[in-house]
Structure 1
Amino acid sequence: MSSPASPTIPIDGPTMDALMALMRLIAAGVTDDDAINDALGGVLGADSDSPQPAGTSPVSSAALGRSPTGETPSVSPFDAVVPLPADVPDVTDTDDGGSVPTEATNTDGQPMGLSPLEFAVLRQNSHVVTGLLKAGASVDYIGGFSCTALCKCCYSFHKNVDLIRILLAAGANPDATTNNDTHSASCLIISVVKNNVEAVKALLEYGADVSYEWKGSNALAMALDFKKLDIAQLFENFEYRKAQKNRWERYQNQRRRDAEDREAKLDALRSRSAAPTGESPTPQPVDGRSTPTGRDETRSPSHAAGGGTGSPRSVRETAQLTENLGAMDWLVPLSDIEWGQQISAGAHGQVFRVTLKSTGDIVALKRFPCHDARSREGFRREVELLTKFRHENIVMFKGAVIDADVSAMLTELCTESLFDRLERTSAPIPWPVRLRWARDIAKGMTYLHTRTPAVVHRDLKSMNVLLDGSGTVKLCDFGIARLREHTFVMTQHIAGSPSWMAPEVLRGDDFGPASDVYSFGVVLWELLMRQVPWPNKNMAQLVGLVGFAGSTLELPDRAPEGCPPQFIDIIRSCFAKPEDRPSFRSLREQLDSLLVDVD
């Protein structure tokens, strides 16, 4: 690294002598704390004893190093660039086996000197470095180096992690770069290239910016590209914990607000419903609806022939779930189900092909693992939402089974997903068909987002886009959809599928309609590429790459044959910042116009 030009420093009298004595001590490799303190005290004493014109310092402003921010530094004798003692040998014990000149030169080859701190770092004398920092040397001033002392240490003496930590503890900028600009490598990137795991740990602990890019790549991307797997794991865990913390803070804040709202509502109810003396209040069920006299609140639906009655606990929970869902006309007894083959299975349940004995209809049955309150809530939410949806591109609700042993939902039968059609078959798919699928997904999502209140899907992906027998798109799986409410979900159980998640969701920020648009962009990318998005990345990697570093799926420079070039522009717009992403209404209109052009 070349050093920029710096003027020769005229320092008069005792201060100059004291600084030169300090430089000779550094050159000699002295580590005795008493000797170091005496030398430092000699500089401070000489500085205070030197005659000074009013308002000035014995060390001229030209003698001072440069602040990384370009600000005028405070005057300190230890921030002066001092000519080095004669005959000081070059440093030959660098970590890479090379040598570092002890005396910097300007562009004309004239001696420039170094600040005492720079010289102490160059000699790797941590005792002197510690003493200088305590005595008032500015940790980030740049004198004869082209970068800060920390950056120099990361570059030339990267194995001296103790020295790196001393500088960081003194407040060194962890994001300093080799040429003190925004275009050169940062300390973190240098440490990745040097494969210095311990230095990376130290820099992360002191807040180094993982997202800073050099030559188009950030530190995490470089670690993955150069197969520095230990360092990549460090970044992933670091970003993972950061996202986890964000989610936890949001969750705690929301819980506090919810508790305050509940207390306010309870206070209002207490003030309204205080009954006069001797008068008994009307019994109310848990959900607040009046209970007709004589009704059996623990009554359960019918069970399949040969099935048990279920435990008292499951019977009560089943009855409460039935009550919470309200309307009863769509309930289907378990005894009416003739089981067929299993179609699919996932984290949110199993899907079977079944026949309704009473009507002969063949439908899909999604069986939910309702073994705890959380899973029962997911089932209740999906049933409640689907009973309200009526749209050609939303899977049609046919009924539900709510039994002590089985909780299941019945929908129209679609035996194939968009994911199956795109990635698991090699048959060619004409572009008009792909565009029609894209337009129909946008139609279904427009329906959800324009409802009152708006419904945010939160798990839009090709596996949740079904195709019926005629090839019509049907959106499904609303178990984690939200009516714009705030929710905390731990990262390892995060709502949604990470390869389709928007950056703000991976970071732990709020999930809104724009997050669905980003997921839609990933589905469009699948339609374009017929590949699985981020196939070799796990959750922690995606949190770092997409959530914090802003990486997106690669798009081709030119549209493939048959694909309108505007289709790639639409995908790119879905990957924009949340506030710049288009609405689904706009996306539908754009895709409609493309269909007109290709049909």
Structure 2
Amino acid sequence: MPSSMSDPLENDAEPFVETDPSGRFGRYNELLGSGAVKKVYRGFDQEEGIEIAWNQVDLQNFSGDERMVKRIQSEVYLLRSLRHKNIIALYAVWLGRENNTLNFITEVCISGNLREYRKKHKHVSLMALKKWARQILRGLEYLHKHEPCIIHRDLNCGNVFINGNVGQVKIGDLGLAAIVGQDHTAHSILGTPEFMAPELYEEDYTEMVDIYSFGMCVLEMVTMEIPYNECDSVAKIYKRVSHGIRPLALRKVKDPEVQAFIEKCLAKPRERPSAMELLKDPFFDDLEDLV
């Protein structure tokens, strides 16, 4: 073949819309998901030959707040050092000067998020649900025992991802987590209303807000319903949460052991067990240690 001819396979390849400064990671135009401040695209790691998730935060949302931009940037850089089998790995971070974005590369789970996976597979045993729950707790324990302590603040089944072929669960969307000081308290509102602990609305909270959200995740896994779906506005959710009114979905949990476990997680902040304590709960006694 003449050297001037290009490789036909190369011509058929899907083009990158963007590459990182090192040229290692490429972004495709396919959107995997989007939120209030972030979009997630399908990407590729040319060095490792694996697909990745390219996360892009539009810093225009924080225009005029240079301190917030620097804080987000420094927190994402710290998250890059996290390594745990139940936490989505973060590989690279950089600022896109041209389009004023913060970009970070994370691993991608083949089966997507736990919410969609659970809807797809309706026949899941309690044993399997416990295995998923325990893995989420192991990830939370790692975050909460980290120095400094890291609070996820937006834990829900849409932010938990799964490799369904091996049943491995990983906590994701850590890009905007709160990193707190010695007193383990944080003071800004962030989260998904249906999963937010009452004290989160008061802007004075600890890592125990993640335990509350975890309880709501277990509730969603069991019932396949997003908590408080009986409410048609954030204001109504807030009113119920602040008054300690449980979501109607909790009434659909027929197993008393499961209901009691969820209630432990939804208790008042000082009465909530830590992730480490919950891992020792009798709820998990029938699981093998290998999982």
2:171 alignment counterpart: 475
Counterpart CA distance in 1 for 2:261 and 2:78 is 29
Query: How big is the alpha-carbon RMSD for the aligned residues of Structure 1 and Structure 2?
Result: 2.8
Partners of 1:336 and 1:455 lie apart in 2 by: 29
Which residue identity does 1:412 align to in structure 2? E
Cα distance change, pair 432–382 in 1 and its aligned pair in 2 (3 A)? farther
Query: Does 2:208 correspond to 1:514?
Result: yes
Return the offset for 1:420: 1.2
Residue-by-residue CA offset, 1:7-31 (whole Å, 9 max, x unaligned): xxxxxxxxxxxxxxxxxxxxxxxxx
Task: Name the structure with the higher helix share.
Answer: 1
Question: Counterparts of 1:378 and 1:420 in 2: how far apart (Å)?
Answer: 32
Distance 2:125 2:241 in 1: 31
TM-score (ref. length: structure 2): 0.79
What amino acid sits opposite 1:393 in the alignment?
N
Task: Please state whether the residue corresponding to 2:175 is helix, strand or coil.
Answer: coil
- Are 2:144 and 1:449 aligned? yes
What's 1:338 paired with? 26
Partners of 1:558 and 1:461 in 2: CA distance? 18
**What secondary structure is seen at the aligned counterpart in 2 of 1:428?**
coil
Query: For residues 242-321 of structure 1, what are the structure 2 equivalents within 5 Å?
Result: none
Query: Match of 2:114?
Result: 418
CA distance in 1, matches of 2:167, 2:136: 12
2:226 corresponds in structure 1 to 532
Q: Do the aligned partners of residues 571 and 306 (structure 1) sit closer, same or farther apart at CA in structure 2, a change above 3 Å counting?
A: closer
Contact 1:364 1:414 in 2 (8 A): no
- Whole-angstrom CA distance in 1 between matches of 2:207 and 2:247: 20
Distance (Å, rounded) in 2 between the aligned partners of 1:449 and 1:477: 16
CA distance in 1, matches of 2:17, 2:37: 27
2:153 matches 1:458: yes
Counterpart for residue 438 of structure 1: 133
Q: Percent identity?
A: 28
Q: Does 2:193 correspond to 1:495?
A: no
- Tell me, yes or no, if the aligned pair for 1:399 and 1:411 is still in contact at 8 Å: yes
Cα deviation for residue 551 of structure 1 reads 0.7
Identify the residue that residue 289 of structure 1 maps to in structure 2: none
Counterpart of 1:427, as a letter, is K
User: How many Å separate the matches in 2 of 1:306 and 1:437?
Assistant: 35
Q: What's 1:146 paired with?
A: none
Distance apart, 1:427 and its partner CA: 3.2
How many residues align? The count is: 260
| 3-state SS of 1:556 partner | helix
Which of 45, 69, 77 is matched with 1:376 structurally? Answer: 69
Structure 1 residues not aligned, in runs of 5+: 1-304, 308-330
Please tell me whether the aligned partners of residues 458 and 511 of structure 1 are also in contact (alpha carbons under 8 angstroms): no
Q: 2:291 matched to 1:592? A: no
Whole-Å separation in 2 of the counterparts to 1:375 and 1:399? 20
Are the equivalent residues in 2 in contact too, given 1:397–1:412 (CA < 8 A)?
yes
Q: What amino acid is the match of 1:369?
A: D
Whose radius of gyration is greater, 1 or 2?
1
SS in 2 for 1:389: coil
Q: Which runs of 5+ in 2 are unaligned?
A: 1-15
- Return the offset for 1:488: 4.6
Q: Which has the higher strand share?
A: 2
Ranked by relative contact order (alpha carbons within 8 Å, sequence separation 6 or more), the top structure is 2
Q: CA deviation at 1:361?
A: 2.8
